[in-house]
């Protein structure tokens, strides 16, 4: 049981084979793709399964219904900043920005509740908002995004 | 800060919001804009924005019914107590309770001194980003319409 990836990046192509027979859980498979493919494992799994459904991290890999075991993926480079940290990762160009958000929360170990209330901004902490339902798309260079917590907005008391 | 509504409507920041699918101008009648905004459940809400004395006075935003353009409670997004802190959908007194909204400033005279609507390069983008955030970020308390209908 293996997943063959052909990842086409702006700095060249790379072919990776992920043997998953010995990988027990979904979160471990995602981490393996992250590391070996240098691309977001969650997005790749979603393409391989043809499903955007969020899988339980502990779901057994043997229960996954793969639609594809060989994928050719055009990848966009995204440099994600969160507070004082930053990290570059690749994502399929057709993946939505929500994938970047989800990956960043995993990578920067942000609690689930806090993660949902962060937003992605393009270029800087004060840059324009990115709609997470939109595709990342193709970019000539690595795209810089910031995962930020919006400031509080004053209001009157509920009535 | 721009005092020209036309300039801000043509700005890169405004166009970015349109391209990202956060908002879309449906109609402009001089200083009145009808803008479609999208919630996280893909439901579209129409805002009537009164932008007279743009850059000097706050914008007055009110949600309106799509076909009739009437400001009625049914056209307003709903949410939890946090959400209701900003969006006052009492049929007798519909307004957005936020220091950069004219209705909010009318209800809270002390907010005028803050000049909150002038603390931005682009008043229109500031307004629509606030609305978009309230309709998309879970912490702001918006209740998706489908969920409301089911409950």
C-beta atoms surrounding B29 within 10 Å: 8
Say whether pTM exceeds 0.95. no
pLDDT of residue B148: 63
pLDDT of residue B3: 85
**What ipTM does the predicted assembly reach?**
0.78
Nearest to B98 among A122, A155, A158 (CB): A155
> Cα–Cα distance between B112 and B106 in angstroms, integer?
8
CATH of A75-148, one of 3.10.20.90, 3.40.630.30, 1.10.1040.10, 3.40.630.10: 3.10.20.90
Residues of A in contact with B129 (CB under 8 A): 129
A48-75 tens-digit pLDDT: 999 988 899 999 999 999 999 999 999 9
Residues of A in contact with B20 (CB under 8 A): 128-131, 134
Taking an 8 Å cut-off on Cβ atoms, the answer to whether B85 and A158 are in contact is yes
C-alpha distances in Å from residue A109, one per residue of A63, A113, A141, A143: 26, 12, 26, 21
Residue whose C-alpha is closest to residue A158's, from B31, B67, B97, B45: B97
Contact in structure between A42 and A30 (CB atoms under 8 Å): yes
Taking an 8 Å cut-off on Cβ atoms, the answer to whether B20 and A130 are in contact is yes
Is 70 exceeded by the pLDDT of residue A159? no
Residues of chain A with CATH 3.10.20.90: 75-148
Q: What's the rounded mean pLDDT across residues A129-150? A: 94
Q: What's the pLDDT band for B36 if we cut at 50, 70, 90?
A: very high
B84-115 tens-digit pLDDT: 999 999 999 999 999 999 999 999 999 999 99
Q: What's the rounded mean pLDDT across residues A85-94? A: 96
Q: Establish, for the pair of chains A and B, how many residue pairs have beta carbons separated by less than 8 Å.
A: 55
């Amino acid at each position: 049981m293996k997943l063959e990836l052909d990842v086409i990046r702006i700095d060249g192509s790379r072919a990776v084979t992920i043997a998953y027979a010995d990988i027990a859980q979904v979160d471990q498979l995602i981490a393996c793709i992250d590391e070996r493919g240098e691309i977001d494992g969650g997005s790749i799994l979603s393409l391989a399964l043809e499903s955007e459904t969020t899988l339980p991290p502990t779901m057994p890999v043997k229960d996954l219904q793969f639609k594809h075991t060989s994928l050719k993926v055009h990848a966009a480079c995204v440099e994600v900043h969160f507070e004082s940290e930053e990290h570059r990762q690749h994502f399929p160009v057709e993946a939505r920005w929500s994938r970047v958000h989800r990956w960043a929360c995993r990578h920067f170990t942000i609690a689930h509740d806090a993660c949902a209330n962060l937003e992605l901004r393009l270029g800087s902490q004060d840059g324009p908002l990115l709609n997470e339902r939109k595709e990342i798309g193709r970019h000539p260079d690595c795209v810089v995004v910031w995962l930020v917590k919006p400031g509080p907005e004053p209001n009157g008391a509920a009535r | 800060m721009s005092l020209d509504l036309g300039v801000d409507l043509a700005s890169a920041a405004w166009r970015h919001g349109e391209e990202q699918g956060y908002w879309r101008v449906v109609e402009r009648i001089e200083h009145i804009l009808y803008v479609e905004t999208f919630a996280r459940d893909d439901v579209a809400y129409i805002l009537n924005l009164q932008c007279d004395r743009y850059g000097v006075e706050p914008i007055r935003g009110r949600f309106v019914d799509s076909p009739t353009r009437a400001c009625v409670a049914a056209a307003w997004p709903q949410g939890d107590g946090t959400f209701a802190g900003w969006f006052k959908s009492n049929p007798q007194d519909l307004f957005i309770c936020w220091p950069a909204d004219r209705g909010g400033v009318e209800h809270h005279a002390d907010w005028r001194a803050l000049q909150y609507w002038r603390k931005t390069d682009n008043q229109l983008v500031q307004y629509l980003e606030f609305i978009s955030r309230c309709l998309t970020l879970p912490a702001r308390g918006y209740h998706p319409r489908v969920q409301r209908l089911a409950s």
